[in-house]
Amino acid sequence: MCDERGAAIEPVAVVSNERVADDVGRVVFDAPRTAASIAPGQFVHLRIARGADFILRRPFSVHRAYDGRLEILYQVVGRGTKVLAEAIPGDVMDVIGPLGAGWSVPGDATRALVVAGGLGAAPMGMLVEELAAREVDVTFALGAPSAGRLVARQLFESLCRRTLVATDDGSAGTCGFVTVLTPEALERERPDVVYVCGPEPMQRIVAAQCAEAGVACQVSLERLMACGVGACLSCVVATSDGLKRACVDGPVFDAATIAWEPSGDAEVAG
């Protein structure tokens, strides 16, 4: 899914940085080269701060790319995202990108189901824009712990024919994990393809539902990652075809090939 120019290091300047949901921020970078070449589902490797204390870059999926800009959604979970949350317009960082293999849209697809839990909505912005451009009929199932943590709902509602919502506490939409929405959506919408991103136990459940329904399913997996270019082997994913690297073979994989880690359903978060 890389363009012919491939990945490169690009200095990027912060254009804006704001909170868009409880504990979720959206940073917009001026990044003409990467924005012009990135495909839906690919990611960038962001160097958040210079100085010896930050040894590793952070991988981020790209929510949207337009007019030379990259939109990245992030949740403050550690030191890196804390520094990112404090970035102000004009701050300069750098990205390596575009990286990885993104979503694939079958040429004959007419209906798609997109399932996102929490910040799993992040890589779905570019995807639904692409699907809309191809006039694919999209149903979006969006889950979050609470109404205040639903991410990018308006964008998805504007581009998808139906947007279904589930929250763990019932403060918006159906009460429960997003996985309660998918069986019915699969049955009713009969999608040609399903795209999933979110907590891994949730992805595993949706993948199983799709397998049972006989529908192709793609998942975007998250791994701790050092190099981002396939060299260090830190981000491997167990598949039916052996170990694959999330950074170059993924992050998007055919769900049917993943050797899922067994996990209790109690861990599933919307």
Partner 1 sequence: MSGRVDMGVRIGELELRNPVMTASGTFGSGREYAQFVDLSRLGAVVTKGVSVDSWAGNEGPRIVETPSGMLNSIGLQNPGVEQFCENDLAWLAGQDVPVVVNVVGHSVDEYVAVTERLDAEAAVSALEVNISCPNVDAGGMVFGTSCPAAAEVVRAVRRATRKTLIVKLSPNVTDIAEIARAVEAQGADAISLVNTLLGMAIDTRTRRPVLARGFGGLSGPAIRPVAVRMVWQVARAVDVPVIGMGGITDARDAAEFMLAGATAVAVGTANFMDPTSTVGVVVGLERYCEAHGIERVAHLVGAAWPEKGL
Give least dist CB 190 to partner 1, A.
36
Beta-strand relationship, 58-61 and 43-47: antiparallel
Structure-block tokens of residue 9: 């290091």
Give least dist CB 233 to partner 1, A.
5
Bridge partners for 197 per DSSP: 116
CA of 91: how far to CAs of 16, 29, 49, 113, in Å? 10, 10, 10, 37
Specify the amino acid at residue 104. Answer: S
Stretch that binds partner 1, among 5-13, 26-34, 160-168, 194-202 (CB under 8 A): 5-13
Between residues 53 and 108, which has the closer beta carbon with respect to partner 1? Answer: 53
Query: Residues touching partner 1: how many (CB under 8 A)?
Result: 28
* Residues in region 77-106 near partner 1 by CB under 8 A: 96
Closest C-alpha among 14, 13, 70 to residue 38? 70
Choosing from 4, 53, 67, 135, the residue that interacts with partner 1 (CB under 8 A) is: 53
What CA–CA distance (Å, rounded) separates 84 from 27?
8
Specify the amino acid at residue 139. Answer: T
Residue 136 is a binding residue for partner 1 (CB under 8 A): no
Q: How far apart are the first and last CA of the chain?
A: 29
Angle between helices 200-213 and 182-189 (to 10 degrees): 30
Residue 7 is a binding residue for partner 1 (CB under 8 A): yes
Residue 46 is a binding residue for partner 1 (CB under 8 A): no
Choosing from 108, 135, 224, 262, the residue that interacts with partner 1 (CB under 8 A) is: 224
Give me the DSSP letters along 175-242: ES-GGGTHHHHHHHH--SEEEEESSHHHHHHHHHHHHHHT-EEEEE-----SSSSSSS--SEEEETTE
Residue 234 is a binding residue for partner 1 (CB under 8 A): yes
What CA–CA distance (Å, rounded) separates 95 from 34?
8
Residue 121 is a binding residue for partner 1 (CB under 8 A): no
Residue 232 is a binding residue for partner 1 (CB under 8 A): yes
Choosing from 223, 254, 256, 269, the residue that interacts with partner 1 (CB under 8 A) is: 223
Choosing from 4, 18, 55, 214, the residue that interacts with partner 1 (CB under 8 A) is: 55
* Residues in region 8-37 near partner 1 by CB under 8 A: 8-9
Between residues 51 and 107, which has the closer beta carbon with respect to partner 1? Answer: 51
Give least dist CB 196 to partner 1, A.
20
Percent of the chain as helix, strand, coil, to the nearest 5: 25, 35, 40
Structure-block tokens of residue 164: 């279904």
Stretch that binds partner 1, among 1-9, 107-115, 129-137, 155-163 (CB under 8 A): 1-9
Between residues 41 and 97, which has the closer beta carbon with respect to partner 1? Answer: 97
Choosing from 38, 225, 252, 258, the residue that interacts with partner 1 (CB under 8 A) is: 225
Give least dist CB 22 to partner 1, A.
19
- The residue ranges that bind partner 1 (CB under 8 A) are 6-9, 47, 52-57, 96, 223-236, 243, 248
